[in-house]
Amino acid sequence: MGGDMLFYSVALASVIGLSSAYTISFRRPCRDLSPECLRKTVQAALPTIADGIPDLGIESLDPYELKKLQLKLPGGIDIAFSNGYAKGLKTCNVDYARYGGGLFETQMHCNLTIKGKYRSSGRLLLFPINGDGESIIKCRNLKLRSLIQLGSVVRSDGRRYFDIKDSRIEHGYDGRVMYSMTNLFKGSPEMSNAVLDFMNSNWKMVAEEFGTPMVEYGVQSVMKNVKRLFDVLPIDELEKL
């Protein structure tokens, strides 16, 4: 297999789900390296990889269970989510996918929802907060652009595997973010509603100021799955895709 086609198979492997017996549960809709074929393939594969493969240690990403997530946001805000989930990855729309110089690049737009219980303390811009309640955060038309640079390594079994040399994920808000959070101020529904109204009226400022740690957490979860897939499948297995 030529170098380009081999890389093509590997790039696709990052978005293709396999069963515990490595039975391919996804077939490429086309097999060339054109940007349109790559885009169609990534689009078709998203639901498969988002479902996860527990037997291979690849978690479900849609829905993604949030048992306990603790974040420290800018301004000294501590926030913890629990008993919740994030969903929407499998319905993202892929704008483009392309390969060149060993770099795989793709961009997509997603509608994501995060729901669960939360606890928070600190200062949100002008407002001190001390919250404990239910939250729903909806991101509409969130732009995600990823770049993955791959290398290879021979492991103790004598087989060659791919590893991620470098990766970068960029995000932007081409739609809007909607917040629904109860009890932002314990014992003060009026103040809670006032802060919530402020957050929704100034959603972009709030998202750009405080949203990056949450996006980075999601990105780390995706990259963990991709790395796990590369860890369990050597290159000669990827060539069969």
pLDDT per residue over 69-104, tens digit each?
Answer: 888 877 778 888 999 999 999 999 999 999 877 788
- What is the average per-residue pLDDT within 111-133? 87
Q: Which of 112, 164, 166 is CA-nearest to residue 136?
A: 112
Q: What does the alpha-carbon distance between residue 136 and residue 134 come to, in Å, rounded to a whole number?
A: 7
- What is the average per-residue pLDDT within 19-44? 72
Q: Who contacts 39 (Cβ-Cβ below 8 Å, separation ≥6)? A: 94, 95, 96, 97, 106
Q: What does the alpha-carbon distance between residue 57 and residue 233 come to, in Å, rounded to a whole number?
A: 12
Quick one: pLDDT at residue 154?
Answer: 93
Quick one: pLDDT at residue 22?
Answer: 46
Amino acid of residue 20: S
Residue 177 domain boundaries:
3-238
Instruction: Quote the percentage of the chain above a pLDDT of 70.
Output: 86
Q: Under DSSP, is residue 104 helix (H, G, I), strand (E, B) or coil?
A: strand
Q: Looking at residue 20, what DSSP letter applies?
A: T
This prediction's pTM: 0.80
Mean pLDDT over the full length of the chain:
82
The domain that contains 61 carries what CATH number?
Answer: 3.15.10.30
Provide the number of structural domains found in the chain.
Answer: 1
